[in-house]
Amino acid sequence: MRFHDVRLAGAVSAVMFTTVVAGGAAAQTQPLKCTAPPLPGHVVNVTLADMGPGMMSDGPGPQGMRMRLFATPAKVPAGTVSLRVVNEGVIAHEVVVLPLASGQAPGRRDEGSDQRVDEAGSLGEASHDCAAGKGEGISPGAMGWTTLTLRPGRYELVCNFPGHYVRGMYAELDVTG
């Protein structure tokens, strides 16, 4: 799926996403269920994506899905940072913000028996459908958001629903001094 920010006179007037089928052809464009209000600070657009079985699946996993999490921009100045999260997938997802230790690579956290990574030290999350903060997950075609105060350092944005992290739902966010 592809996310489109449709602008009119500098303001977001409609947010659409396009379903992309095997081979990269666009199948349909639909409006998102909701949009985020104007967010303070530096805004990072986070896209959550998954593809069902038979659509470029790369092996076993939750429902045989390949999953991805993208953050743009991947580098922001320290201070107020807002994450605007769009779920372009076919199942619910979330974004949890975790600090990365010096020398730690993204995607290298160990999953527990519950197929989730340890959230100790979490700085916040976007997992509420069409609202800010914590919830039960962002449903397909919806948005969620959160605003945090981040110090300089490296952070990992993860979807921590069971099995999603190991299937590729993580990205690094660098915060500069």
Taken in order of first residue, the domains within the chain and their CATH numbers are 34-176 (2.60.40.420)
Which two three-digit tokens encode residue 160?
A: 């921590």
pTM (predicted TM-score): 0.80
Query: Once rounded to an integer, what is the mean pLDDT over residues 105-109?
Result: 96
For residue 143, report the phi and psi dihedrals to the nearest 5 degrees. Answer: -125, 160
For residue 133, what is the DSSP state? S
- Structure confidence at residue 31 as a pLDDT band (50, 70, 90): confident
Tell whether the model's pLDDT for residue 49 goes beyond 60: yes
> Which tops the pLDDT comparison, 31 or 165?
165
- Structure confidence at residue 40 as a pLDDT band (50, 70, 90): very high
> Which phi-psi region, left, alpha or beta, contains residue 136 (left: φ > 0; alpha: ψ -120 to 50)?
alpha
pLDDT in tens, 52-89: 654 444 444 445 668 999 999 999 999 999 999 999 99
Sign of CA dihedral 19, 25, 84, 31: negative
Burial category of 121 from C-beta neighbours within 10 Å (exposed 0-12, middle 13-18, buried 19 and up): exposed
Does residue 141 contact residue 32 with C-beta atoms inside 8 Å? yes
Element counts in the chain: helices (H) and strands (E): 0, 12
CA dist list (Å): 123 to 22, 57, 67, 81, 119: 37, 32, 23, 12, 9
**Tokens 């269920």 sit on residue:** 33
What confidence score (pLDDT) does residue 53 get?
54
3-state secondary structure 49-103: EEECCCCCCCCCCHHHCEEEEEEECCEEECEEEEEEEEECCCCCECEEEEECCCC
